[in-house]
Amino acid sequence: MGTNPVLNKKLAIFTATGCRACENAILDIHYQVSSLSRYADIAFWPYVLGSEWRDLEKQERIDICFFSGAIRTGGDREAALKLREKSRIMVACGACAAFGGMPGLVNMSQSSGESGQSQGTMDNNQQASEEKKPELPPLEPRVLGLSQIVKVDYFVPGCPPTQNFLWAAIQSLVCNGQSPARLSFAASRLPETIGRSITSGILPPKGSIFAGEKAVCASCSRVKEEKRFETYKRPYQAYEESGRCLLEQGLVCQGITTREGCGGLCTAVGLPCRGCFGKAEAVFDPGAKMVSAIGSTFDSDDAQEIAAVVDDFVDLVGTFYRYTLPTQCALFSTPPKD
């Protein structure tokens, strides 16, 4: 029982522009769920192992690359291209890589070619210096998700991805069907092809998303009665924190258009869903779906009344597309690379 250099998969783990929650999640899997060293040699992991680009070049090939973070700079783009070239399988890990994530909201601002630093309290040193100074990688004109730069083979959504699905992805792609019996309970919400790949080692079809197919409502623990949207409420106002469905109470909860898999994490804590798993299988555009869902539940037949309620709604785009603006907003997105 030792590492098997023949069968072990070579992994690369990298974050472009984002936080480190996705990488920490993988570190946690290694210690809390199952030791990765039985199945994988981690050949490139700058955050934990200090690997450099030179080390990546020395590798002949990487089997699976877990790529997190949105594409914000030219450096991110280069990194994505380099890793895609070396890797047999590319996994977009986390909402930023899969959909663009919260950095994607930058695309709504005027000039995303500059950085969004506050200028209010800045005083820039205007001194022209003779000495050579290093340059920064150029900013991309729009924030992009990984699939808009390179072909992505699999997606693990979430901000951050839940340990269940991350482990399911690792079992499915890395463990050669030899994963230990500790299957996540999330396996029951996974599409059949993924469940099969965990037990047999046959890879799921390219483009698979490691999450459920229905909407979050299917796994949400709240009580759903009759859908009737009477007044619009904002989360700082009073509402029942546990028990009744949030949409029914007048909050904008996006569970109805979001892919399930988290188990209704936010709604269980008393907060409306904000769609970090991306849109559910049958949805064309999350914003349109929310308009349809909320609009159809207005109780009135009077146009004035409805207009008055709608007037209170704020920031529809920033709410409906908070994690998915670059890739899933029909009007704002560019098509994925094929």
Partner 1 sequence: MSDFEPKIIAFLCTWCAYVAADTAGIARYKQKPNVRVIRVLCSGMVDPSYVLKAFTTGADAVLVGGCHPGDCHYISGNFKAMRRAPLLNKLLEEMGVESGRFRLEWIAASDAPQYAEIINQMSEEVRRLGPFSPSMIK
Partner 2 sequence: MTFEPLRWQEDPVRIAVFHDTEYLQAYFQVTAPRDIEWICKGRPVEELPRILTILSPSHHLASAKALDRLFGVEPPPMARNMREALLQAHIFRHHLRKLYFLISSRHNPFLDRQKRGNRGEPQLFPPHFLDEIMHHEALSQEAATILGGRCDHPLSAVTGGVSRFLKEDHYHRLSEIAEFCLKFAMRVGEFLRDEIFGDGKALDALGSTYGQNLQVEPMVSLTLAEKDGNVVLRDPVGKEMDRFSPDMMFEKIGFHNESWTHEPFAYIKGTSENATRKVQEQIGNIFHSEFPIPNPEFFFVGPLARLNSGEALGYPLAEEERQRLIEVLGPFPHFGVVAAYWALLVELVQAAEKMTGLYAQEKLTGPAIRTIPSEMGQVGHAVLESPQGLIFHHYRTDQKGIVEEVEVLGTGTGNNALRCLLTQKAVDISQARGEAWEETKNRIEISLLPF
Residues within window 43-62 making contact with partner 2, judged by CB under 8 A: 46-53
Helix or strand holding residue 171 (H, E): helix 163-173
Task: Please state the closest distance from residue 284 (CB atom) to partner 1, in A.
Answer: 4
Is 185 a binding residue for partner 2 by CB under 8 A? The answer is no
Of 289, 323, 327, 328, the one binding partner 1 (CB under 8 A) is 289
User: What is the rounded CA–CA span in Å between residue 235 and residue 13?
Assistant: 36
Residue 331 contact partner, candidates partner 2, partner 1, none, CB within 5 to 8 A by sort of partner: partner 1
DSSP annotation of 69 reads S
**What are the angstrom distances between the C-alpha of 19 and each of 25, 95, 104?**
12, 11, 14
- Should residue 320 be labelled a site residue for partner 1 when binding is judged by CB under 8 A? yes
**Residue 296 lies near partner 1 (rule: CB under 8 A):** yes
Can you tell me the distance from the alpha carbon of 36 to that of 122, in angstroms, rounded to the nearest whole number? 46
Find the part of the chain contacting partner 2 (CB under 8 A) among 125-133, 202-210, 289-297, 301-309: 125-133
Buried b (16+ CB within 10 A) or exposed e, 206-222: eebbbbbbebbbebbeb
Specify the residue, 9 or 194, whose C-beta has the smaller distance to partner 2. Answer: 9
Q: Does 121 bind partner 2 (CB under 8 A)?
A: yes
Per CB under 8 A, which region of 59-67, 165-173, 213-221, 291-299 contacts partner 1? 291-299
| CA–CA gap between residue 123 and residue 15 (Å, rounded) | 31
CB closer to partner 1 out of 183 and 291 = 291
Of residues 153 through 182, those in contact with partner 1 by CB under 8 A are none
Q: What are phi and psi of 107, to 5 degrees?
A: -60, -15
Binding status of residue 16 toward partner 2 by CB under 8 A: yes
